[in-house]
Structure 1
C-alpha cells in the first residue's frame, strides 16, 4: 500500500467551499487547545479568528469534550421527533438568556439553516412574502440565506428566491448618506430604510433581516439608536424583525446576544457558531410566543433529520453553563475595553495604512487604506488575483508571526476565542502591529 500524507489525500479527494480548488493549499491541522492550534509541521498559531468566528470557548475545552463523551456513552443519535433531556435542557438554557420574551427554540444544524427557517417562519406567520436585508451582510449559503446575503457571494447563486430586497445599513466611515456624525448616519439610514419599506409596500414586507453587529462585512457596530429605530419601524408597519446573531451571539461582542447592548428585542433570532463552539454542528431560531403560537394547531412545514441532535445539544447545554460559571460575556467586554481597544488605538496612530479601527467585545476590524484622506481601500472591493496581493501579503505576514486572523476585502478582523489569556491577546496584537508594516508599503497619500 502506498504511504501518502494527509495533505496529498486531502488534495485528491476533498472539495473546498468558496475556493478555486487548484489554487489553495489548506493547512493540515493536527491539534489545538484553547486559543492555539498546530499544523502538521509543528507550527503553532494563535487563533485570532476562532476558526470561522465560532470557537468562542476555544479548542478542546475540557468541559465541552467531557460533555461529548458523556452523551456518546448514553445516546449518540435519535430522531428529531423524539424528546430528549439534553435537547430540552439546551433549549431551556438558551431561552433563559434570550432577549425579551423569546422562549422557544427551533434547532437546526447550522446558521444558514437557521436563517432559512427564520425567513419561512416570518412569511408564514405574517402572510407576507418580502424580506428586506442589508447589502453589507452575509447570512449563509443555502438558497434563501444566500439570496438575503448582500455581499458578492450572492451573485453566483442568482436568481435566488423571490421577494428579497436589499438596503443600506449604517457605516459612517463609508457613508452612503454623506453623513458626518453617528447621529446623522443613524437618522439617514433609518430614513432610507423607511423609504424602501414604503416603495416595496409595507403590507408586502414580512420581515427585516439584519445582523445587529455586521460580522464578515466589516464588524460594523450600529450607531446608538439605530436598532431601536428599526424596531420602531417594524412595529409601525407590522413587520417582523429577524436578528441574525449567528456570528455575534454568545458573548462575541460582550453580551449574551448583541441586541442586548441596545435593549432591543427581535421577533426571531438566529444563532449557531458560539452556542457550542462548533464542537458538534448546531444552530437554531429563537421564536417569540406570538410566532410559536401560529403553529399550535397546525404543523410547521419544515424540519431537519438532525434537528436537536443529542451530541450537539449536550455540548450546547454545557457551553451555556461555562458561560454562566465564568461570566464569559463580561470577560469579553472587559478584554475589549481594556486590552484590545487601547492596543488598536496605538496601532492606528502608528500605521498610515490604518483608516479606522472599530469593534466591541472580542470582535474588531482594522480597515486598511492606501490614503487616509480619500479612504481608498488597500485592495478594491471583492478583489481577487493580483489585485488582492496587498491583503494576501498582510495575512502572510501575520501567519509568519504565529497569528491567524480573519480577513475580508481590505480588513483584518480580530475574533479570538473568548477564553484567550490576556498575555496571548497582547502577543497577538503585537504581531498584527508588526505585520501591518506590509500594508504601509502601499500608502500613497
Structure 2
C-alpha cells in the first residue's frame, strides 16, 4: 500500500489579489476597517439590496402549492428565456420578429461566457489567426474563462484613459483596428468595472470597425437598468449591433439588478443570420450545458420571469431600480464634493461622469495598497470602489483616507 498521496506534487493554487484583500480585511482588527470590494449592491442599512417586487415574486413562487421540484430543461425555463431576450433586445426587435434570436439559461454570466467560449473554440474556425479581444482592466477575468475553453490567442485593447480619467476611445479603436480580422471582441456595456459610459457615437465607431473587419461581438450585458436607471438605454449597444445585422453573443446577468446574488441567474443570448442557424447553434450550446452543469437552477430564473412577465411587478421593479440608481448618483456627488472640500489635488469630476455600482477612482496600485495597510480601506486591485458600501457613518473617513494617499505622493 502506498504511504504517500499520488497528488503530493500538486501545488496550492495562487490566490488572486482580490481574494487576498478579502482575507486581509477579515484579519484586520482595526475598528475603522471597511471593505469596498463587495460583489453585491448594499442598501443604506448595509445589507444586500433586494427589490420589493422580487420578494413578492419569490414568495408567490415558493408558496405555490402546485409548484413541483422537477429539474428545469437543460436549456432553461422557457418563460425566463423568452422574457430576458425581449428585455435585452426589445419586443419589437427584428431579430425576435424574424425568429433568429434565442438563448440558453446559465449559472450567472460566468456560465454564459464559458459555454459561449466552448462553442467558439469548437466551431469558430473562419480564420485561424483570430484573437479574443479583451478590455485591459477586465483582461484577466475573461481570459481565464476563454483559456479554460481552449482559446489561446488574446489581444488586449485599451479602455481606460488614466490621464483624462475616462474612456480611451482613440486607443481602443486603434487596438481593434490592429487586431486580426474575424476576432471575437468582448464588449462590456453600461455596468462595467470602470463605470465609464460610452456614447452612441462611440458605439457606432466601434461597430464600424468591427463590421469592416468581420469581428464577432460578445457583449457582457450586466445588471441592465443599474447603469442609467433606464433598461432600454442600458441595452442600446446590443440593440444597435442587432440593427446593423451583426451576429452576436451576449452574456446577461440578473444577480444584482434583481437582488438574486446567490441564485446564479444568467443567460447566453444569441442572435444569428436566420432561424436555421439559430436552431443549430442553440442545440450545440444546449449540449455543452448538459455536459458542464446538466440543468440550471430554477428559483432565481422563475423569479426573474415572474417579474418581467407581470406588468404590475415589472413597473414596481423598474421604479425600485431607478430609486437605487438615484441613491448611487447622490453617493457619487458626495464623494466628489467631500474630496473637493479637502482640496485634494485631482478634480474627481470623473467619479460623477461614471455610472453603475462601481466608482473607478484612478488610483495607482501602490495607493490601493497603502489604503489597505495604513487606512484599513480595502478596494480591489485596480481601485474600483463599490460605492453602495458608503454611508453616513464611513463616507468622511473613506474620503479623508483617499485624500491622504493621493496627497502623500504614494
Aligned residues: 354
Of 173, 182, 187, the match for 1:210:
187
The Cα shift of 1:307 comes to 3.6
Q: Is the 8 A contact 2:109 2:267 kept in 1?
A: yes
- Structure 1 residue 62 corresponds to structure 2 residue 52: no
- Residue aligning to 1:444: 408
Partner SS state of residue 394, structure 2: helix
Gaps of at least 5 residues in structure 2 are 1-14, 43-47, 243-247
Partner SS state of residue 230, structure 1: helix
The alignment's TM-score, normalised by the length of structure 2, stands at 0.69
Partner SS state of residue 240, structure 2: coil
- Residue aligning to 2:102: 104
The Cα shift of 1:114 comes to 0.7
RMSD (Å), alpha carbons: 4.3
Q: Which has the higher contact order (CA 8 A, sep 6+)?
A: 2
Q: Is the 8 A contact 2:134 2:185 kept in 1?
A: yes
Runs of 4+ in 1 over 6 A off after TM superposition: 45-50
Would the alpha carbon gap of residues 330 and 46 (structure 1) be closer, same or farther in structure 2, given more than 3 Å must change? farther
Separation in structure 2 between the aligned mates of residue 285 and residue 96 of structure 1, nearest angstrom: 13
- Residue aligning to 2:156: 167
Q: Is the 8 A contact 1:212 1:259 kept in 2?
A: yes
Cα deviation digits, residues 326-366 of structure 1 (max 9, x gap): 424544454455x2443233133124176634354443415
Of 357, 365, 368, the match for 2:359:
365
Written as runs of structure 1 = structure 2, the 5 A alignment for 1:107-146 is 107-122=105-120, 124=123, 127-128=126-127, 130-137=131-138, 140=141, 143-145=144-146
Written as runs of structure 1 = structure 2, the 5 A alignment for 1:268-417 is 268-272=249-253, 273-274=255-256, 276=258, 277-290=260-273, 293-297=276-280, 299-300=283-284, 301-304=287-290, 305-320=293-308, 321=310, 322-328=313-319, 329-337=321-329, 339-351=330-342, 352=344, 356=348, 357-358=350-351, 359-365=353-359, 367=361, 369=363, 377=364, 379=366, 388-394=369-375, 396=377, 407-409=379-381, 411=383, 413-416=385-388
Partner SS state of residue 166, structure 1: strand
Written as runs of structure 1 = structure 2, the 5 A alignment for 1:212-291 is 212-213=189-190, 215-216=192-193, 218-222=194-198, 225-246=201-222, 248-256=223-231, 259-260=234-235, 264-265=240-241, 267-272=248-253, 273-274=255-256, 276=258, 277-290=260-273
Separation in structure 2 between the aligned mates of residue 208 and residue 222 of structure 1, nearest angstrom: 16
The alignment's TM-score, normalised by the length of structure 1, stands at 0.64
- Which one has the bigger helix percentage? 2
